[in-house]
Chains A and B, each alone.
Chain A
Amino acid sequence: MKTEGDYPWDRSGEPDPEVQQLEEILGTLRYQPRALEIPAGIQVGRERKFFSGSASRLAIAAAIAALFLGLGLFFGLQRLERGQPPEIVKAGNAPKPSPTVSSPDEKSNSPLAVSEPQPKPQLTDGPRHQRVSQTLVARNSRRIRNAALREQQLALEQKRAEAAKDQLMLALRVVSEKFGYAQKKAQELNQKDQVHNQHKIG
Chain B
Amino acid sequence: MKSLAKTPLKLAALIVFVVLGVNVTASAQNPRISTAQLDGLASKATETVDLNLDESMMQLAARAFSGEDPDEIKIKDLVNHLKGIYVKSFEFETAGQYSDSDLESVRSQLRNSAWKKIFSASSKKEGGVEVYLMQIGAEITGLALLASDPKEITVVNIVGPVDLQKLSELEGHFGVPILDIDLANPKRKNQDRQE
User: Which A residues fall within an 8 A CB radius of B?
Assistant: 157-158, 160-162, 164-165, 167-183, 185-189, 193
Contact = CB atoms under 8 A, between A and B. Distances in A.
25 contacts: A161-B60, A161-B64, A165-B65, A167-B51, A168-B85, A169-B174, A172-B75, A172-B175, A173-B174, A173-B175, A174-B87, A174-B89, A174-B154, A175-B145, A176-B171, A176-B174, A176-B175, A177-B177, A178-B154, A180-B177, A183-B177, A183-B179, A183-B180, A188-B121, A193-B195
A181 B145 CA distance: 11
Given A175-B87, A175-B145, A189-B121, A168 B177 contact: no
Nearest to A160: B60
Interface residues of B, number: 36
A160 to B, nearest CB: 6
A167 B61 contact: yes
A173 to B, nearest CB: 5
Contacts, number: 102
A181 B147 contact: yes
Contact of B176 (A167, A168, A176): A176
A186 B119 contact: yes
A170 B121 contact: no
Contacts of B53: 164, 167-168, 171
B103 to A, nearest CB: 14
Interface of B: 49, 51, 53, 57-58, 60-61, 63-65, 75, 79, 85, 87, 89, 119, 121, 129, 131, 145, 147, 154, 156, 158, 170-171, 174-181, 193, 195
Nearest to A158: B64
> Lowest 7 CB-CB distances: which A-B pairs, in order?
A164-B61, A176-B176, A185-B121, A161-B64, A180-B177, A165-B64, A168-B61
Nearest to A162: B64
Contacts of A186: 119, 121, 180, 193
Interface SS of A by simple majority:
helix
A180 B179 contact: yes
B175 to A, nearest CB: 5
B26 to A, nearest CB: 26
Contacts of A188: 121
A179 to B, nearest CB: 5
A157 B156 CA distance: 27
Nearest to B145: A178
Given A161-B61, A171-B53, A186-B180, A179 B193 contact: no
B117 to A, nearest CB: 12
